[in-house]
Amino acid sequence: MQTGSIRVQTENIFPIIKKFLYSDHEIFLRELVSNAVDATQKLKTLSSIGEVKGELGDLKVTVKLDKEAGTLTISDHGVGMTAEEVEKYINQVAFSGAEEFVQKYKGQNENAIIGKFGLGFYSAFMVSSKVEVFTKSFKDVAAVRWECDGSPEYFLEETTARTERGTDIVLHVDADSKEFLEDDRLKGILTRFCKFLPVAIYYGDEQINNTQPLWVKKPSELTSQDYQDFYKELYPFSDAPLFWIHLNVDYPFNLTGVLYFPKIKQSYEIQKDKIQLYCNQVFVTDEVKDIVPEFLMLLHGVIDSPDIPLNVSRSYLQGDPNVKKINSHITKKVADKLDELFRNERKEFEEKWESLGLFVKYGMMTDDKFLEKANKFHILKAAPSNSPRGGEGNTSLSQFYTLDEYKAAAEVLQKDKNGKLVLLYTTNAVEQNTFIKAADAKEYIVVLLDTMIDPSFISHMEMKWENVVFRRVDADIADNLIDKQDELKSVLSEEEEKKLKELFNIQLTDLHLNVEVKGLSPDAPPIVATRPEMMRRMKEMAHMSGPMGSFYASMPDEVELTVNGNHKVYQSVLKETNATKAKEMVHNLADLALLSQGLLKGNHLTEFIDRSVALMQGEAKSSIIIEA
């Protein structure tokens, strides 16, 4: 058996660092500025415990470009380093001075320290042919200068070039990285990654960061306007948010942040990746799919946590139990906030439902814990032709119902033969207006489910909500929607019904029509065209399901034509002696019903128009195939 220590070939480490340490070379500026901030925070900590005496002076960090000399300098007025510390922290790859400091001064605001891996400084070599460090410690010792050209060899000497406490990192930018000598490029990187660092960052004479972003403050110190202003700072060209949630957790993990519910006008305006993840106010990424629940990826805002496990480049999350805990906490906070708003400001909640509904429905479909809470504040909006009607406990004046309120208002009339509540809905209140009015006349409650997420929501909730089935209001005639058996009798004889069915035996290329004569109310339409609920859903799903779905979507639509035998128009039709005219009258009635469902298109629509004109002129001009 043999044991030993793994060796690192120092000649090979710098080429690896130069090419592969970070996937984006621009990260070097974030790392070096973050190190300068750490040096400043260390000084503040030492001052707070009396290890540094006197005034600390101006603790800003400065980034200076000298395009002519081809150099970029990052300067701070932090703790600085002695020659021994340079040997320890700079000349040992992956030895983290920040981590050592945190361990030594544990309990002294260690979360303010950003560095973890001891590799950030070496990112300088990704863009530099040579790096110089001029540093003077807060201790009473000489300043030193360190120089390295990216090989394992370095040069260290005392210097008088730095007379004040702190450190200058001077990068001699190499020929392949001249982009980092462009003013706009540098300013863009600093704005992206350093916008909210806790120490003032200057690029030239301009401060580019807000050292006290809203999320580090206490909610009790902030006004509604403060939250609105910060949202504008994050998203300058966006509409005002609906509301926000301030996160502030210190156990069992540290988490701060503000999440905003954006106003969504149309479904196509939805944008993801609008939540920014920070670690100690250093920007990490806007891809937060692991830490934020999927249904809340549409939110905007900021999350900051020193406990989020990051990879070396701080560019993505590592697997860790804290991620799941934070994810669950955010879900709970959002559910609690929505519940609070619904209970205390229901009218405002309902006014915002057009945008809020997307988040709530998405969450109910994807997260059972959220579903359990959301059942209390998810609301259904009544279709426009319905009068406001409230169930027990519904004191709202607007036409909205929670599921419990809908049940209380509809359970007497809207149960099927299996005892399940039939939740009637419309996807288009204009096109389905006739059906809505027919249902309203029966005192049924029809709700509006017309967003892009609703078809999936309906399918999911039929599985999640016990004893509830959804039926679109045009899936059958109003008398049959609730599976009632007390239909009227037709006044027509069997022979007349048979003749009428023969007249309605219409052949259309893209529709399969099933005709049935029933005894409806004389005031009901002469004929109603409906598409069976399950069949229609399958067709709609097929339209969205790729090549195989296209095959099913291209199949003829199944349409139920329910002929109202009690309508007086059929007395005229049955007495018509001109057989062709009788057929065309019937065909027009069928086309009107199909038109109400948006199913009359192309040549069939043209034929309907021509036939209608001919009938009005007293002509019988058959231009279609009708089987007698």
Secondary structure (DSSP) of 65-117: EETTTTEEEEEE-S----HHHIIIIISSTT--HHHHHHHHTTTSSGGG----S
The 10s digit of each residue's pLDDT in 15-64 is: 666 665 566 788 899 989 998 998 999 899 899 888 888 889 999 999 99
Sign of CA dihedral 382, 388, 390, 395: positive
Task: For residue 477, name the pLDDT band (cuts at 50, 70, 90).
Answer: confident
Task: Say whether pLDDT at 191 is over 60.
Answer: yes
Give the angle subtended at the CA of 510 by the CAs of 507 and 512, to the nearest 5°: 55
As a whole number of angstroms, the distance between CA 384 and CA 364 comes to 25
Task: Say whether pLDDT at 617 is over 80.
Answer: no
Task: For residue 530, name the pLDDT band (cuts at 50, 70, 90).
Answer: confident
Half-sphere exposure of 318 (CA within 13 A, CB side): 9
Q: Is 389 helix (H, G, I), strand (E, B) or coil?
A: coil
- What pLDDT, on a 0 to 100 scale, did the predictor assign at position 556? 67
> What homologous superfamily does CATH list for 494-616?
Heat shock protein 90, C-terminal domain (1.20.120.790)
Question: Residue holding tokens 């050592």?
Answer: 100
Task: Say whether pLDDT at 601 is over 70.
Answer: yes
β-sheet bridge partners, residue 169: 74, 133
- What pLDDT, on a 0 to 100 scale, did the predictor assign at position 151? 82
CATH of domain 379-481: 3.40.50.11260
Pairing of β 511-518 and β 557-564: parallel
- What pLDDT, on a 0 to 100 scale, did the predictor assign at position 8? 53
Q: Please state the length of the chain.
A: 628
Q: In the chain, which segments carry CATH 3.40.50.11260?
A: 379-481
Question: Which of 76-85, 313-322, 559-568 has the largest mean confidence?
Answer: 76-85
Q: In the chain, which segments carry CATH 1.20.120.790?
A: 494-616
What is the CATH architecture assignment of 214-328?
2-Layer Sandwich (3.30)
Range scoring the smallest mean pLDDT among 15-29, 140-154, 255-269: 15-29
As a whole number of angstroms, the distance between CA 338 and CA 85 comes to 53
The 10s digit of each residue's pLDDT in 551-564 is: 555 666 778 888 88
Q: Which tops the pLDDT comparison, 211 or 477?
A: 211
Task: For residue 495, name the pLDDT band (cuts at 50, 70, 90).
Answer: confident
What separation in angstroms does the CA of 145 have from each of 81, 133, 156, 499? 10, 6, 6, 106
Q: Is 76 helix (H, G, I), strand (E, B) or coil?
A: strand
Task: Say whether pLDDT at 232 is over 80.
Answer: yes
Whose CA is closest to 326, among 308, 353, 313, 348?
308
Work out the percent of the chain whose per-residue pLDDT is above 70.
80
Q: Which tops the pLDDT comparison, 250 or 127?
A: 127
Task: For residue 463, name the pLDDT band (cuts at 50, 70, 90).
Answer: very high
Q: In the chain, which segments carry CATH 3.30.565.10?
A: 10-207
As a whole number of angstroms, the distance between CA 365 and CA 140 comes to 64
DSSP per residue over 309-368, as a string? -B-TTSSSBPP-HHHHHHHHHHHHHHHHHHHHHHHH-HHHHHHTHHHHHHHHHHHHHH-H
Task: Say whether pLDDT at 321 is over 50.
Answer: yes
Task: For residue 107, name the pLDDT band (cuts at 50, 70, 90).
Answer: low
Task: Say whether pLDDT at 258 is over 60.
Answer: yes
Question: Residue holding tokens 């891809």?
Answer: 287
CATH of domain 10-207: 3.30.565.10
Structure tokens, 98: 């920040």
Mean pLDDT to the nearest integer, 170-196 = 95
Task: For residue 418, name the pLDDT band (cuts at 50, 70, 90).
Answer: confident
Task: For residue 181, name the pLDDT band (cuts at 50, 70, 90).
Answer: very high
Range scoring the smallest mean pLDDT among 223-237, 295-309, 434-448, 468-482: 468-482
Q: Which DSSP helix (H) or strand (E) runs through 386?
A: none
Could you check whether the bond before residue 309 is cis, i.e. omega within 30 degrees of 0?
no
Range scoring the smallest mean pLDDT among 157-166, 274-283, 324-333, 546-555: 546-555
Whose CA is closest to 167, among 97, 70, 100, 106?
97
Phi and psi, residue 59, nearest 5°: -100, 25
As a whole number of angstroms, the distance between CA 175 and CA 540 comes to 58
